[in-house]
Amino acid sequence: MNLKKKKVFVTGAAGFIASHLVEALIKRKANVACLVRYNSRNHWGFLDSFPTELKSKIDVVTGDLKDHDAMRKAVRGHDVIFHLGALIAIPYSYVHPYDFIQTNILGTANMLSAALEENVERFVHTSTSEVYGTPKSLPISETFPLQAQSPYSATKIAADKLAESFHKSYGLKVVTVRPFNTYGPRQSARAVIPTIITQALKSNKIFIGSLHPKRDYTYVTDTATGFIQAAECDRLIGDVVNLGTGDYNSIGSIIEKIKKILGKDLKVVQEKQRIRPQKSEVLKLCADISKAKAMFNWQPKVSIDEGLSRTVRWISDNIDLYKHNIYTK
């Protein structure tokens, strides 16, 4: 499949990865419609920051993933769905697990049903590396067992399996993309890298939880490109693919890199409230990306040092979007 001139529908489009994906799809010359959760301010999240020329090339639909009838109406006439809409903050999932069940499981079921009922050609479902939990070995291939170590990861496992079942039961052409820890411009403070950068820019202290967990950090434009290439890969229908770098860094090492970029000597303070429950914390994630390389010739282009430098510059220019002194769950 070639996405050029295809009618593409993106859920979660106001957010971090999806807004970058929308930009990439426009460059691909797809016809893009964006789902934004309804709000009375008519705020479109990061789509509002698009230049006027770019914004004129998207159609924005307001609604809620939990409303099946609204989703069926919204996807009508589209060829491809990129389903990125979800609740994703792990600490928040400890506090409000039912909200995650409603959005991530019921919302995904509604989108899958709508795609099936409206004869959508391809459904690109977004998974997460968190579904693997803490693996027994590295790197992690797509065949590794899934482990629910947080309410968030449990809901994403359920959503992944729903997507798989709609392919096997009804023949819906589903592709599941499993990105590892994506970072970059526009990411919210609920993620560790913006948390570190915003505090570093505004003070001389970094309040953080655990320093030792290791993650495979992938720059957001690489992730967006991976989504598009996975969607266009006919051999991937009914299958799952990892998007990562094949390398990892501890949170402590990320802090050191950011200190070097900023040229600041920062004091690191570990706070109990930021530390996840011991059995819930995923200790190490590192992707095996051999399938993505073999099936659609994808591999990341932006190094961790270059990506962090770009992210520091963007957050510095947009620091007013962040509340650096508040712990965002």
> What are 153-167's pLDDT values in tens digits?
999 999 999 999 999
Count of beta carbons in the 10 Å neighbourhood of residue 232: 19
User: Per-residue pLDDT tens for 231-249?
Assistant: 999 999 999 999 999 999 9
Give the tokens for residue 81.
């769905």
Average pLDDT, the chain: 95
pLDDT band for position 329 (50/70/90)?
Answer: low
User: Per-residue pLDDT tens for 185-223?
Assistant: 999 988 999 999 999 999 989 999 889 899 999 999 999
* pLDDT, average across residues 138-145: 98
**Confidence check: pLDDT of 119 > 80:** yes
Report the distance separating Cα 108 and Cα 129, nearest Å. Answer: 18
Q: What is the pLDDT of residue 326?
A: 72
Give the tokens for residue 138.
């590295």
Domain ranges of the chain: 7-183+219-243
For 263, residues 6+ apart whose C-beta sits below 8 A from its C-beta are none
Nearest to 227 by CA among 130, 124, 108, 81: 124
Q: What single-letter amino acid sits at 312?
A: V
Report the distance separating Cα 30 and Cα 248, nearest Å. Answer: 33
Superfamily of domain 7-183+219-243: NAD(P)-binding Rossmann-like Domain (3.40.50.720)
Note the pTM of the prediction, 2 decimals. Answer: 0.95
Report the distance separating Cα 104 and Cα 209, nearest Å. Answer: 26
Q: What is the pLDDT of residue 286?
A: 98
Kindly write down the DSSP assignment for every residue of 90-144, as one continuous string: HHHHHH-HHHHIIIIIIHHHHHHHHHHHTT-SEEEEE--GGGG-S-SSSSBPTTS
Give the tokens for residue 256.
């050191």
Q: What is the pLDDT of residue 9?
A: 98
